[in-house]
Copies of this chain bind each other. A is one copy, B any other.
């Protein structure tokens, strides 16, 4: 389309540097407010828009960050994206969204077609069935800056940001133990995911720490949905020796679990404890309200984005592993014992 004035013309007219004009247009924090006002008034008058494609070819920078995620319609991921978006906006980047539908084939197709020349870097959370890592290693070899978050690959030397799944699961399970529950089941996610393993390990460590035996009948791997939580719980209730509490890998499964228990006339929070992991808003809607471990989802998004931008600006920035702590949120689905 018609592009009559360039950024250089604006700079010349106002007698300031090109970089100041550029920073003013980006709303960068280190521009004199008055200067910014002048730039904005002039660009508005001239109806000037920076041509980002031309700028990208010239500078090698596109100001676009690609975000590859399994879903957006769940609370956790949409909150992470909010955090990413907030940081990206602050630093003048746009985010381009790639949704894999938690499907390895689509993940591969998307990554194969990602034109890395139109992106400065990638934030990635892998799909549940992502057993191979070739498609990531390929991009790494090309020197594409990358940060993985939440669902991360095991064996690649690259920056990763996660909540501390082990600690959170240990905390959740210990909260059940401290309040007198002894036969604690764990309804887990898909076995091959790293964070499923980490949460199970935290659960097992808490049992061991309290000298409680491990019972493999009490560990069920399945999907992440409310429906999965329901059916897993029905399975547990059909055991000859029923559990007296459940630690669910996420809040949606915990909600399904509470619904199954209520359908089977088990009094949740009195005779049976349920604890989740996420702190999804549904935790305050289900009755009894769900005791859970809060994930720092917004913070994970913010820090992932901020770390990626460091990698973009300095290609020699060393990969980091960052673990953010969770927080126990006590509500009514776990009965508190007198002495705790």
Give chain B residues whose Cβ lies under 8 Å from the Cβ of A257. Answer: none
Decide: A50 near B81, CB < 8 A? Known: A282-B282, A286-B285: no
Q: Does A231 contact B (CB under 8 A)?
A: no
Interface digits, A46-59 against B, CB 8 Å rule (1 contact, 0 not)?
A: 01011111101100
Contact (Cβ within 8 A) A97 B99: no
Compute how far the CA of A96 lies from the CA of B113 in the bound complex, rounded to whole angstroms: 16
Q: Please tell me if A6 contacts chain B, counting CB pairs below 8 Å.
A: no
Interface residues on A, range: 35 or more
B281 near A142: Cβ-Cβ < 8 Å: no
A53-B62 contact given A226-B281, A282-B281, CB 8 Å threshold: yes
User: Which of A40, A44, A81 is packed against the most chain B CB atoms within 10 Å?
Assistant: A81
Interface residues of A in 81-108 (CB under 8 A from B): 81-82, 85, 89, 94-99, 106
Please measure, in the bound complex, the distance between the C-alpha atom of A118 and the C-alpha atom of B64, giving whole angstroms.
10
Q: Which residues of B contact A94 (CB under 8 A)?
A: 96-98
* A73 in the interface (beta carbon within 8 A): yes
Which listed residue (B52, B82, B287) contacts A118, Cβ 8 A?
A: B52
- Contact between A96 and B97, CB atoms less than 8 A apart: yes
